[in-house]
Amino acid sequence: MQLDTLDHVAIQVDDIDKAVGWYMQNFKVEVAYHDASWALLNFANTSLALVVASQHPPHFAVLRDDAANFGPLSPHRDGTASVYIKDPAGNDVEVLKRPQKNNRK
């Protein structure tokens, strides 16, 4: 059995710039994306999304090729698409699909 892949965990912050600065000062991270509404920080084994409450709930994201089986997918600016579902305790889980790589030349 192949296990699913955890893509990222998202936490809510009040100030994206301040949070990015704090994580960069305290940990060895790479900034994959950063704007006023969210940032994505890469760690060696996973990513941390910093989000504001008006944009996203705190959640974790699981990569699934069959993400559309969980509900209608919403496209994202980075080419991914996802749907949010809730676990039995009410936690938000993002089921995320990455675009297929085009191997044609």
Taking the C-alpha atoms of residue 73 and residue 63, their distance in angstroms, rounded to an integer, is 13
Q: What single letter denotes the amino acid at residue 105?
A: K
User: How far apart are alpha carbons 9 and 72 in whole angstroms?
Assistant: 21
Determine the pLDDT at residue 104: 46
Mind listing the pLDDT tens digit for each residue in 6-35?
A: 999 999 999 999 999 999 999 999 999 999
List, for residues 49-96, the tens digit of each pLDDT value.
Answer: 999 999 889 999 999 999 999 999 999 888 899 999 999 999 999 999
Where do the structural domains in the chain lie, given as residue ranges?
5-97
Q: How confident is the model at residue 100 (pLDDT cuts 50, 70, 90)?
A: confident
CA distance 73 to 46: 22
Q: Which CATH number fits domain 5-97: 3.40.50.410, 3.40.50.2000, 3.30.930.10, 3.10.180.10?
A: 3.10.180.10
Residue 78 has what pLDDT?
80
The sign of the dihedral angle between the CA atoms of 27, 45, 88, 38 is: positive
